[in-house]
Structure 1
Amino acid sequence: MVRKYKLIFAINSLFGGGAERVISNLGNYFYKKGFDVTMVCLNEAKPAYHLEKGIKIISLVTNIRNQSFFFRLWYGGVTLFKLLFILIKEKPSCVISFMTSANIWMGLTCNILRTPYLVSERITPDYTVNQLNHFLRWLSARVYSKSKAIVVPSKGMVDGFRKNKSFSALSNFEVINNPVSQFSAACTERVYPRKFILSVGRLDHQKGFDLLIQAFKRLEMKDVDLLISGEGGERKNLEKQIKDLDLSDRVKLIGYQKNLQDYYRQAEMFVLSSRNEGYPNVLVEAMSLGCACVATDCEFGPSDIIENEENGLLVKANNIKYLSEAIKRTMSDPALKIKMSVNAQLINQTNSPENTFAKWEKLILTHV
């Protein structure tokens, strides 16, 4: 096949996470549509999600191990040189990057070579660009302003960016919601011997699993366990919390699971306990498979996805009491649970991959 355009997708890593799943699915879509696709990773390149065999993967593997000023200066020079070499060699029609550090590096490189590029942020800017120092905020705003588009998954994120004076004048935002993930068929074999409530995500403070564990403790439900799927830097702290609350037999950190569809299908319900989000993939996944959901009304995304009392329950963020009460209500009200489960599956239409990726394709083709 003669491939019509060459696209480079860039991200820090392809190892797990919502942004990694979206960029992987996006790369697969364009490859199947006849584009030449390359994935560039600033760090670890081993993909957690399926990528078509014809997609090239390039890893810079230049992790910072020394925090000294001169080392970081050297690191910056090496990173920029490597990216310039890749773009000069590959000659992409357009570069699409995800997450702040990849956006800044690829934006700088594309500006030097006058290559069209798009940047995409996936979580609330209060935890990304808004936390940068003055120089990096200024730099990121310059890089983002020269991009063909700043793609965000929820409307609220646009307002979140404009709260920052550096980004207040930018007008090149595009809102494209995350698509429903495509899973293989669920199996009938039980993945866990007891009834369970499910939560999924990176083990990070942002995801609020510490709040969920405390909310679960308040329930005192003896016939249902809590399973949390994911990996991350908070594992040790969460393990200690579980032990201190005497929940070791009933709260399980089950790590990253490739057959998440089976867990979604078999769970009594799904809980999103995040302190902040951009547009939570795991919530979309759970709803698409008919899992009754409770989610914190955090910034941003859950309120774009859930209509309270119809296809799920929204509760005040960072509130253990309300989270616990919403879980208890869902578990004890079969009629509500069935209603939310049925209505949740309508997300398969609104967030279908066909609709979502068509928006990306239209945007990219406008600028190649």
Structure 2
Amino acid sequence: MPQKKIKIALIGDSLKGGGAEKVHVLLASYFIGHDMEVHTILNLNEIDYPIEGTVLNLGLLKTKGIPIFQRIKRFLKLQNYIKLQKFDFIIDFRCHNKPLTEWYLTQTLFKRNYIPTIHSSKTEWYFTSSVFWAKKLYKKSYKIITVSQYIADEVTKRYDYHNVQTIYNPINLKMINRLKEEDCPFLNLKYIAATGSMESDIKQFDKLIDYYSQSHLPKQNIKLIIAGEGNLKSALLQQIQNLNLEEHIILTGFLKNPYTLMRNALLSVLCSKNEGFPNVIIESLACSTPVVSFDCVSGPNEIIENNKNGLLIKNQDFKALIYAVENLVNNQTLLLHMRKNAQKSIEHLTLENIGKQWLDLLRFKPNL
């Protein structure tokens, strides 16, 4: 007897640029590939990544008018859609910052097999800033999914939840192996690479630029190339100009294919204040490029093995970070050793392997 097709809603704020958004897109594709019906529901009309399946873009309903009436209109649209579709599972990638709104949603609309996913060590972004409400929000959830074991432990300790499971972010290794072979505009340069959003100061690109300027790397003609877009980009460009480093530091903007940049880099650098499970690390390793990263909360120490696929540096010690970069770019033996280990070290994170963990969670057995 044919198995009933599972219907899943994937809810996100947007599909613009970030790690959670990439996971959203990858899982949509994976679920559809396993004969599930997938609907993506977005709050904002911001889409950088192509998405498979049916899309309800609530952002398109944002028009000129009284804000409260606009919110009510979008809520009624969402409410009717959820009731009409009768989803088997609702997987939520959104940040949650309005306690009463989130409590109402979980008590009314998201009652059936609701799965919130936590993508940052800043758990208050997903549980709201109120610990009182945070402890109530997900009591009826099917499972709370975190992207690192550190976050899972924090959720249990801070909010007293025990229906928590870690499923790491997946990586589409087949796609990356294909895309990384495309032409790279920086092929003739020696450089280190950094990638991330410039919407906030979490990635700390300004400090990276400052410490790079004080290092020996510019004198060795080793460039710093940063890929990303956001409100802070103009300030970073001004900083580079003030340091007279326009010939040494390149800001590429948003790259649809960052993998050629990563593949041809000497190494990648991560210097964030905090993370969840940083995609930039696993993507760089997938491109056989080692990573020098702060041992920040959370994720890097669940991916990087010192002297095997990269280096973990004392958290927020920029001097130590740049010193490690300088030493590594001049140690070809160690760099080669790390390159050989890099891709193999993240094979357990392939979309196929992580996807199976999601299928197990949903108790779905594919037809063979």
TM-score over 0.5 for the pair: yes
Using the alignment, how far apart are the partners of 2:23 and 2:98 within structure 1?
16
Further displaced range: 321-330 or 137-146: 137-146
Partner residue in 2 for 1:145: 139
Q: Any conservation in 1 of the 2:148–2:298 contact (CA below 8 Å)?
A: yes
Q: Are residue 361 (structure 1) and residue 355 (structure 2) matched?
A: no
Partner residue in 1 for 2:262: 264
Partner residue in 2 for 1:159: 153
Partner residue in 2 for 1:346: 344
Q: Are residue 207 (structure 1) and residue 203 (structure 2) matched?
A: yes
Partner residue in 2 for 1:15: 16
Q: Any conservation in 2 of the 1:7–1:35 contact (CA below 8 Å)?
A: yes
Q: Any conservation in 2 of the 1:293–1:340 contact (CA below 8 Å)?
A: no
Q: Are residue 174 (structure 1) and residue 162 (structure 2) matched?
A: no
> CA distance change for structure 1 residues 363 and 291 in 2, over 3 Å: closer, same or farther?
same
Partner residue in 2 for 1:50: 50
Q: Are residue 300 (structure 1) and residue 301 (structure 2) matched?
A: no
**How far did residue 265 of structure 1 move?**
1.2
Q: Are residue 119 (structure 1) and residue 83 (structure 2) matched?
A: no
Using the alignment, how far apart are the partners of 1:58 and 1:340 within structure 2?
43
**How far did residue 63 of structure 1 move?**
6.0
**How far did residue 335 of structure 1 move?**
1.0
Q: Are residue 196 (structure 1) and residue 196 (structure 2) matched?
A: no
**How far did residue 103 of structure 1 move?**
10
> CA distance change for structure 1 residues 301 and 85 in 2, over 3 Å: closer, same or farther?
same
C-alpha distance after superposition, 1:263-296 (max 9, x if no partner): 1111111111111000001100000110021011
Using the alignment, how far apart are the partners of 1:94 and 1:119 within structure 2?
11
Partner residue in 1 for 2:326: 328
**How far did residue 3 of structure 1 move?**
7.0
Using the alignment, how far apart are the partners of 2:96 and 2:337 within structure 1?
42
> CA distance change for structure 1 residues 2 and 248 in 2, over 3 Å: closer, same or farther?
farther
C-alpha distance after superposition, 1:294-326 (max 9, x if no partner): 011000000000111221101122222011101
Using the alignment, how far apart are the partners of 2:192 and 2:238 within structure 1?
20
Partner residue in 1 for 2:225: 227
Using the alignment, how far apart are the partners of 2:76 and 2:338 within structure 1?
52
Aligned counterparts, 1:78-93, within 5 A? 78-93=73-88
**How far did residue 64 of structure 1 move?**
10
Using the alignment, how far apart are the partners of 2:93 and 2:167 within structure 1?
13
Q: How many residue pairs end up in the alignment?
A: 353
> CA distance change for structure 1 residues 188 and 27 in 2, over 3 Å: closer, same or farther?
closer
> CA distance change for structure 1 residues 144 and 239 in 2, over 3 Å: closer, same or farther?
farther
Aligned counterparts, 1:59-74, within 5 A? 59-61=57-59, 74=69
Using the alignment, how far apart are the partners of 2:77 and 2:133 within structure 1?
20
Aligned counterparts, 1:268-287, within 5 A? 268-287=266-285
**How far did residue 262 of structure 1 move?**
1.0
TM norm structure 2: 0.88
Q: Any conservation in 2 of the 1:211–1:318 contact (CA below 8 Å)?
A: no
Using the alignment, how far apart are the partners of 1:129 and 1:153 within structure 2?
13
> CA distance change for structure 1 residues 233 and 126 in 2, over 3 Å: closer, same or farther?
farther
Further displaced range: 96-105 or 199-208: 96-105
Using the alignment, how far apart are the partners of 1:126 and 1:329 within structure 2?
35
Letter in 2 for 1:51: I
Further displaced range: 148-157 or 297-306: 148-157
Name which of 306, 309, 312 aligns with 1:311: 309
Partner residue in 2 for 1:29: 30
**How far did residue 129 of structure 1 move?**
4.3
Further displaced range: 346-355 or 288-297: 346-355
Sequence identity (%): 27
C-alpha distance after superposition, 1:167-214 (max 9, x if no partner): 1x1111110011223323433634224222111111131112122112
Q: Any conservation in 2 of the 1:39–1:58 contact (CA below 8 Å)?
A: yes
C-alpha distance after superposition, 1:23-75 (max 9, x if no partner): 100000001111111111111242x22333xx111111166999xxxx76555
Q: Any conservation in 2 of the 1:64–1:72 contact (CA below 8 Å)?
A: no
**How far did residue 330 of structure 1 move?**
1.1
Q: Any conservation in 1 of the 2:113–2:141 contact (CA below 8 Å)?
A: yes
Q: Any conservation in 1 of the 2:8–2:36 contact (CA below 8 Å)?
A: yes
Letter in 2 for 1:122: H
> CA distance change for structure 1 residues 311 and 83 in 2, over 3 Å: closer, same or farther?
same
Q: Any conservation in 2 of the 1:83–1:106 contact (CA below 8 Å)?
A: no
> CA distance change for structure 1 residues 284 and 36 in 2, over 3 Å: closer, same or farther?
same
Q: Which runs of 5+ in 2 are unaligned?
A: none
| Corresponding residue SS for 1:313 | strand
